[in-house]
Amino acid sequence: MDFVRGILDRIVLVAGIVAAGCIPSFIAQYRQRVGGRLDQVIQDLAPFQEIANQFHHGSLQELILHHLASPDSTFHNEGAAIQAMVNSAEQLRRALEALNTDLFHQLVYLIAKIDPLIARATWEAFLPSFNLTAESIIFAFIVGVIVWLAFFAVWYVFARLIRILTAR
Cα separation of 148 and 142, whole Å? 10
Model confidence over 74-85: pLDDT tens digits? 989 999 999 999
Model confidence over 106-126: pLDDT tens digits? 999 999 999 999 999 999 999
The residue range of the domain holding 158 is 2-167
- With 80 as the cut, is the pLDDT of residue 70 above it? yes
Q: What is the dihedral of CA 41, 43, 44, 48, to 10 degrees?
A: 120
Buried b (16+ CB within 10 A) or exposed e, 11-21: ebbeebbeebb
pLDDT, averaged across the chain: 93
Model confidence over 32-45: pLDDT tens digits? 999 999 999 999 99
What is the tally of structural domains in the chain? 1
